[in-house]
Chains A and B, each alone.
Chain A
Amino acid sequence: MPPYAPEHVCHFDLLNRKYARILQGMLNEIGHFAVILAFAVAIAQAFVPLVGAQRNWAGWMAFGAAAASVQFFLVALGFGILINAFVVSDFSLSLVAANSHSAKPMLYKVTGVWGNHEGSMLLWIMILTLYGALVAWFGQGLPARLKARVLAVQSMIAVAFLAFLIFTSNPFTRQVPPPLEGRDLNPLLQDPGLAFHPPFLYLGYVGLSMSFSFAVAALIEGRVDAAWARWVRPWALLAWVTLTIGITLGSWWAYYELGWGGWWFWDPVENASFMPWLIAAALLHSAIVVEKRDTLKSWTILLALLGFSFSLIGTFIVRSGVITSVHAFANDPERGRFILWILCIVTGGALTLYALRAHRLQSGPAFGFVSRESGLVINNLLLIVATVVVFVGTLWPLAAEIVTGRKVSVGPPFFNAAFTPFMVALIVVLPFGAMLPWKRGKARVTVRNLRGVAALSVALGIFVWSVQTGGRMLAPVGLMLAAWLVMGAFWDLLLRARIGDVPPSAAWRRLQKLPRSDWGKAVAHAGLGLVVFGIASITAWETEDIRVARIGDRFSAGGYEFELRTVNDVKGPNYVAEIATIGAYRNDKEIAILRPERRFYPVQRMPTTEAAIDMGLTRDLYVVIGGDRSDGVWTMRTYIKPFANWIWIGAIVMSLGGVLSLTDRRYRVGAGAPRAGVRPAE
């Protein structure tokens, strides 16, 4: 018998598989244990540094930084092990069995880890502990007491959520005996969008925990100064940037995945991420005032507390199931109650502390009605009012049912009507506010500076109105506002470079020397203008065509021609599909081939449509095929969406503005104390 007879191989193989299974099981328990250990560390970290800061014990304060690192590594270990369980399709974990399948493509095995409640909660917590660790790693320049208190507060939040995870939503729960095959992931989630959308979203709204912890620490200390704002602002900005990216990705995902090109639904879960975004935007603006003018302190603290509170409200909305939403996480009233308790304790505790201590924060120097400070106050006011509208609209169905027993719906038509006016007002005042000088300005001067930009914007509006020969005012007004924002932002830069006063070459040099934060501000504001442009265009000018077509039919829609050529059956890794081939023509020239699909996922018994989109800067051609009929006739939906992509391009430009501002020398994360001799009024 040769030494490597098949029986031997088989025998070894079986043995190996048995050991592999045992090792895999041990690994799962190690992950489980790591998360429990992180919980214990978090409890210690919530108290020891706090006591240390109170008693001025250096060793106890230093414990915070070490514990924060350990806590993060433990949670990350648990998360890594959970990813591994999904990758090897270890169905002995009930989470894997319920949300994965061995035939699922590898990308979706990994992203499926956070495509469910338990796994996404672990990701949420990992990001929370990551922020704690970042304070520990980059916070050398922070006063030891402030740092210790921040870490303790951050850890209190971690205690609450680790308890929530371990006691109500344990991702490491085992299932005996393990099923042979998993139940697969919801097909709508089997998309590259899942890889980036939730992590960015969580980086954003969990990132607001940082400002929250700094705010609570400042209240305990009873002191807020420019150095505090210098620390909080970059973190708030970072949270806002990642939240912007996360929301944008989600919107784009909905646009191409849901099959008719909607990009915002005012769904409760979208609102849940939008409210913290609005507050974060307000916070990062008011933090500028604290940093540069040493005023609006207690207001900024309040915003920092509210920002993370809205993140928690969002978490509650997404995971409790009290509000119906298109985003279906497995909901459970017990979990809802637990999060509600966390929300009450965290927000209630913080606001009580605020009520007790806020008066200790010295209010800073006064400012005139016409000043940059006032401009930023108006910005904050409008953003907060808009947030309140979204908040009340989101919770209204719940409140109305509890109070009066009536069942009512609050949908997009309400939000469009009630939310938009405040955004329009914000856009109208934005370029003025951005150009006003600090402390005291003259309205006349700023108005004069912006006269040209205003005239050009209005002219553009009138032009658009006359080109589209009257009709709805949406496009003319929208484009006018967009132009006002974009031109206003760059005109501000040019004025700073003293264009007109100095020779162009000198102005160019001055332009290059402007601080990055000024560039960031202009880019972010212009990005908002691009978003407005995209929204106005797609809403006002979209064309839609719904028809039945046979193979070989050719029809025109919105200035383009389309030809349905073939429809083929195709087998994917875990689905079967019908793929249509459609030629798109402009002036009899073929410009694109579109391949929309209808898929069926047998494990989840769920059909999905995959739209085909030919993207462009001026328009998207968007084709969906459906209504499969046995007689060779197909339902085709064709949309021409003008300037659709500018919505997302604009949002990304906005976040780029934030990144530019973050790289400013003054705000670089981890930058030291202010340079000697520089006054806060710089």
Chain B
Amino acid sequence: MKRIILPLFLLASPVAAVQPGEILDNPVLEARARALSKNLRCLVCRNENIDSSDAQVAADLRMLVRERLMAGDTDQQVLDHIVARYGEFVLLRPTWSRGNAILWLTGPLALGAGLFLVTSLVCSSRRRTGGQPLSRDEATRLAELTRDD
């Protein structure tokens, strides 16, 4: 049985994610390598980082990251080196650049616009109804209604 299976496995066997042999002896460097790997895209995969990817390209990139770290590069230098070779596409976290400004500012801008809209709506609806305080009857009724609600 074993003999039948093995060739089949070898035929299609991918290189699995981070291999035991790839791991650096220095745990600090290794931790940095792992963190960097999670921000780098496996170029031939559909949407995976190189840390969890099985592809050969990803294994090569993992090695490259570790080589650069061993050579004493900072995290940023490693990323710059890889972007220079493979392009911006490799970064899973887009850079803070003019081209990506809209992307990064979407949240804050949308929140600002939303807050402005909401406050102006609430204000205008209050103006429309005069924003008068509740009468005594209304207040009692409100208290009665909200007690259980």
- Give A400's nearest chain B residue, CB to CB: B99
* Complex contact A374–B91 (CB within 8 A): no
Stretch binding the partner chain, chosen from A139-147, A197-205, A404-412? A404-412
Cβ of A324 < 8 Å from any Cβ of B?
A: yes
B residues in contact with A115, CB < 8 Å: none
- Give A439's nearest chain B residue, CB to CB: B142
Cβ of A589 < 8 Å from any Cβ of B?
A: no
* Complex contact B114–A600 (CB within 8 A): no
A residues in contact with B91, CB < 8 Å: 408-409
The smallest C-beta distance from B73 to any residue of chain A, in angstroms, reads 20
| CB-contact partner of B134 in A324, A422, A440, A576, under 8 A | A440
Indicate whether A578 sits within 8 Å of B12 (C-beta atoms), given known contacts A325-B46, A406-B88, A546-B18: no
Taken together as a complex, chains A and B put the C-alpha atoms of A106 and B146 apart, in Å, by 56
Q: For chain B, give the interface size range.
A: 35 or more
Cβ of A23 < 8 Å from any Cβ of B?
A: no
| CB-contact partner of A374 in B110, B122, B148, under 8 A | B122
Jot down 15 A-B pairs with beta carbons below 8 A, ordered by A: A324-B46, A326-B48, A377-B118, A377-B122, A382-B111, A385-B111, A385-B114, A408-B94, A409-B91, A546-B19, A547-B20, A569-B5, A576-B5, A578-B5, A637-B17
Indicate whether A381 sits within 8 Å of B106 (C-beta atoms), given known contacts A260-B17, A366-B128: no
- Give A577's nearest chain B residue, CB to CB: B5
- Give A270's nearest chain B residue, CB to CB: B47
- Give B93's nearest chain A residue, CB to CB: A413
- Give B141's nearest chain A residue, CB to CB: A681
- Give B21's nearest chain A residue, CB to CB: A548
Taken together as a complex, chains A and B put the C-alpha atoms of A626 and B13 apart, in Å, by 10
Q: What 1/0 flags go to B119-149 for Cβ under 8 Å of A? A: 0001001101101001000000010011011
Indicate whether A381 sits within 8 Å of B94 (C-beta atoms), given known contacts A409-B41, A630-B6: no
* Complex contact A414–B93 (CB within 8 A): yes
Indicate whether A366 sits within 8 Å of B126 (C-beta atoms), given known contacts A388-B107, A388-B110, A569-B1: yes
B residues in contact with A637, CB < 8 Å: 17
Cβ of A107 < 8 Å from any Cβ of B?
A: no
* Complex contact B146–A409 (CB within 8 A): no
* Complex contact A569–B12 (CB within 8 A): no
Indicate whether A576 sits within 8 Å of B8 (C-beta atoms), given known contacts A413-B39, A413-B93: yes
- Give B48's nearest chain A residue, CB to CB: A326
A residues in contact with B85, CB < 8 Å: none
Cβ of B68 < 8 Å from any Cβ of A?
A: no
* Complex contact B94–A410 (CB within 8 A): yes
Cβ of A363 < 8 Å from any Cβ of B?
A: yes
| CB-contact partner of A381 in B14, B52, B89, B115, under 8 A | B115
Taken together as a complex, chains A and B put the C-alpha atoms of A598 and B12 apart, in Å, by 12
* Complex contact A267–B110 (CB within 8 A): no
Taken together as a complex, chains A and B put the C-alpha atoms of A598 and B68 apart, in Å, by 33
Chain A residues proximal to chain B, CB less than 8 Å? 260, 262, 265, 267-268, 292, 295, 324-326, 328, 363, 365-369, 374, 377-378, 381-382, 384-386, 388-389, 392-393, 396, 400, 404, 406-414, 417-419, 421-422, 437-440, 496, 546-548, 569, 571, 576, 578, 598, 600, 602, 605-607, 609, 626-628, 630, 635, 637, 681-682
Chain B residues proximal to chain A, CB less than 8 Å? 1-2, 4-6, 8-9, 11-14, 16-21, 23, 38-39, 41, 45-49, 52, 87-94, 99-100, 102-104, 106-107, 110-111, 114-115, 118, 122, 125-126, 128-129, 131, 134, 142, 145-146, 148-149
Taken together as a complex, chains A and B put the C-alpha atoms of A290 and B114 apart, in Å, by 20
A residues in contact with B20, CB < 8 Å: 546-548, 627, 635
- Give B6's nearest chain A residue, CB to CB: A630
B residues in contact with A326, CB < 8 Å: 45-48
| CB-contact partner of B19 in A385, A440, A627, under 8 A | A627
The smallest C-beta distance from A370 to any residue of chain B, in angstroms, reads 11
| CB-contact partner of B92 in A377, A400, A412, A682, under 8 A | A412
* Complex contact B47–A268 (CB within 8 A): yes
* Complex contact A260–B110 (CB within 8 A): no
* Complex contact A409–B145 (CB within 8 A): no
Taken together as a complex, chains A and B put the C-alpha atoms of A626 and B41 apart, in Å, by 22
Counting from the closest, the 6 A-B pairs by CB-CB distance are A411-B92, A413-B93, A366-B125, A626-B16, A407-B89, A366-B129
* Complex contact A367–B122 (CB within 8 A): yes
The smallest C-beta distance from A492 to any residue of chain B, in angstroms, reads 12
* Complex contact A418–B8 (CB within 8 A): no
* Complex contact A267–B47 (CB within 8 A): yes
Taken together as a complex, chains A and B put the C-alpha atoms of A392 and B12 apart, in Å, by 37
A residues in contact with B11, CB < 8 Å: 605
B residues in contact with A546, CB < 8 Å: 18-20, 23
Scoring B89, B99, B107 by chain A CB atoms within 10 A of each residue's CB, the highest score goes to B107
* Complex contact B41–A411 (CB within 8 A): yes
Indicate whether A409 sits within 8 Å of B92 (C-beta atoms), given known contacts A400-B99, A439-B142, A548-B20: yes
* Complex contact B107–A422 (CB within 8 A): yes
Indicate whether A408 sits within 8 Å of B88 (C-beta atoms), given known contacts A381-B118, A389-B110: yes
Taken together as a complex, chains A and B put the C-alpha atoms of A682 and B11 apart, in Å, by 69
| CB-contact partner of A409 in B4, B8, B89, B122, under 8 A | B89
B residues in contact with A265, CB < 8 Å: 47
Taken together as a complex, chains A and B put the C-alpha atoms of A295 and B93 apart, in Å, by 41
The smallest C-beta distance from A283 to any residue of chain B, in angstroms, reads 16
The smallest C-beta distance from A219 to any residue of chain B, in angstroms, reads 19
B residues in contact with A384, CB < 8 Å: 110, 114
A residues in contact with B149, CB < 8 Å: 292, 438, 682
* Complex contact A262–B52 (CB within 8 A): yes
